[in-house]
């Protein structure tokens, strides 16, 4: 029998707030954090973003970190600090760290280019987070685009399942960068207005930034330490359909396989799922493809589905862990986050949930990356 994997700590920072309290308030009240660029050094001002409302100096002051670190690391330090405290831990002593990011320290390189910052590499951002908390026995970084943080959670869970660790810190962090913004602009999938996932008028995504980390723990370790469980990671799945470098297939094959794998691991049927936190980027391709996958998994009994990217923007590599924390809050507090800005049905898409109070037992959380690298996490009460 596979070991039970508990979530004993969680921390989050995004455009809607720093910490679980501010985040919960924004999700319940339907308060979006998307707006004009404020902190990012860029000449591209036409597109709104989900920027964290703190400067690097303010984040450093809150955490005690150096303001010279990459913004990606500063965001991660805030989120991991909250996760460790929630799990009754003071540092990473004896605890592996698995982080997900793609941008890494690119913001520092943009300030010094053509010279590259010594912290440009993705792994350097994760190492800086680990060093702030006393160093981990080892730290590693996954970079699979927008499924990075979800895959970091899966990687950490497999460390526990295989007996290689009893406690792991897992998640992702991603800051906005000028390269980031122009890169997505070159794909012509940025919306100059607030994004509208699953809406017939959707025209693209809004980029965002943030971080979230979870503390995953075995049943034996949790009992030995005497800490409560916030939820159980009851299943997960990853699949790669390799359909296209950036586009999703019309049938949603990778997404379909990832969700089915998560259900199979958890020993659950589609009817057991009470809510799906969709990847839901607001691009024409993604939302139609994900809808096709949802229809294949659930048939004509699709549970409530919503995308929270109209709250935060698409936080790319960090989205899987940020939205995992949103799912934990939904489970604990009994509500479904609204799918903001949706007004017009599209026959190619599912009709998203309006949001509001709900009795939830099992939640699927989707995170899909370029190249069809698709992951689903299943959290249970």
- The reply to whether 314 belongs to the active site is yes
Q: Find tokens 């910490």 and name the residue.
A: 19
List the catalytic residue out of 6, 132, 180, 279.
279
- Using DSSP bridges, classify how beta strands 17-18 and 5-14 pair: parallel, antiparallel or unpaired: antiparallel
- Using DSSP bridges, classify how beta strands 373-380 and 362-369 pair: parallel, antiparallel or unpaired: antiparallel
**Cβ atoms of 289 and 250 closer than 8 Å:** yes
| Rounded distance between C-alpha atoms, residue 92 and residue 10, angstroms | 14
The CA distances from residue 38 to 48, 102, 165, 195, 334, in Å, are: 10, 22, 41, 19, 34
- Using DSSP bridges, classify how beta strands 275-277 and 305-306 pair: parallel, antiparallel or unpaired: parallel
- The reply to whether 146 belongs to the active site is yes
Q: What are phi and psi of 249, to 5 degrees?
A: -70, 155
Q: Find tokens 């390799």 and name the residue.
A: 242
**Cβ atoms of 57 and 39 closer than 8 Å:** no
List the catalytic residue out of 6, 314, 327, 362.
314
- The reply to whether 279 belongs to the active site is yes
List the catalytic residue out of 18, 122, 146, 195.
146
| Rounded distance between C-alpha atoms, residue 102 and residue 34, angstroms | 21
* Structure tokens belonging to residue 130: 């680990």
Residue 145's CB: how many other CB atoms inside 10 A? Answer: 18
Q: What are phi and psi of 5, to 5 degrees?
A: -110, 115
| Rounded distance between C-alpha atoms, residue 241 and residue 158, angstroms | 22
Q: Which residues belong to the active site?
A: 146, 279, 314
């Amino acid at each position: 029998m596979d070991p039970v994997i508990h979530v004993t700590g969680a921390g989050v920072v995004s455009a809607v707030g720093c910490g679980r309290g501010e985040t919960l308030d924004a999700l319940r009240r339907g308060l979006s954090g998307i707006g004009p660029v404020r902190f990012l050094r860029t000449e591209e001002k036409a597109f709104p973003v989900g920027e964290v409302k703190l400067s690097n100096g303010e984040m450093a002051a809150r955490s005690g970190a150096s303001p010279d670190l990459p913004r990606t690391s500063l965001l991660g330090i805030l989120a991991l600090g909250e996760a460790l405290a929630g799990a009754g831990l003071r540092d990473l002593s004896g605890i592996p760290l698995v982080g997900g990011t793609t941008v890494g320290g690119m913001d520092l390189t943009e300030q010094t280019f053509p010279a590259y910052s010594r912290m440009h590499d993705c792994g350097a951002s994760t190492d800086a987070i680990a060093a702030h908390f006393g160093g981990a026995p080892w730290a590693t970084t996954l970079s699979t685009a927008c499924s990075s943080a979800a895959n970091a959670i899966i990687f950490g869970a497999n460390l526990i399942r295989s007996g290689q660790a009893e406690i792991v810190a897992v998640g992702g962090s991603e800051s906005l960068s000028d390269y980031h913004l122009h890169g997505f602009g070159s794909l012509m999938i940025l919306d100059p207005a607030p994004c509208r996932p699953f809406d017939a008028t959707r025209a693209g995504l809004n980029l965002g930034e943030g971080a979230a980390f979870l503390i995953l723990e075995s049943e034996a370790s949790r009992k030995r330490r005497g800490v409560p469980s916030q939820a159980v990671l009851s299943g997960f799945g990853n699949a790669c359909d390799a359909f296209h470098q950036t586009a999703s297939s019309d049938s949603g094959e990778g997404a379909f396989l990832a969700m089915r794998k998560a259900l199979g691991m958890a020993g659950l049927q589609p009817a057991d799922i009470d809510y799906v936190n969709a990847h839901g980027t607001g691009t024409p391709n993604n939302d139609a493809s994900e809808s096709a996958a949802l229809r294949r998994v659930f048939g004509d009994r699709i549970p409530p589905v919503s995308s929270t990217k109209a709250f935060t923007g698409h936080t790319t590599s960090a989205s899987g862990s940020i939205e995992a924390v949103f799912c934990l809050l939904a489970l604990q507090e009994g509500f479904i986050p609204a799918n903001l800005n949706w007004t017009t049905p599209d026959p190619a898409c599912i009709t998203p949930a309006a949001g509001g109070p709900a009795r939830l037992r099992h939640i699927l959380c989707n995170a899909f990356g370029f190249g069809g690298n698709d992951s689903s996490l299943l959290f249970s009460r």
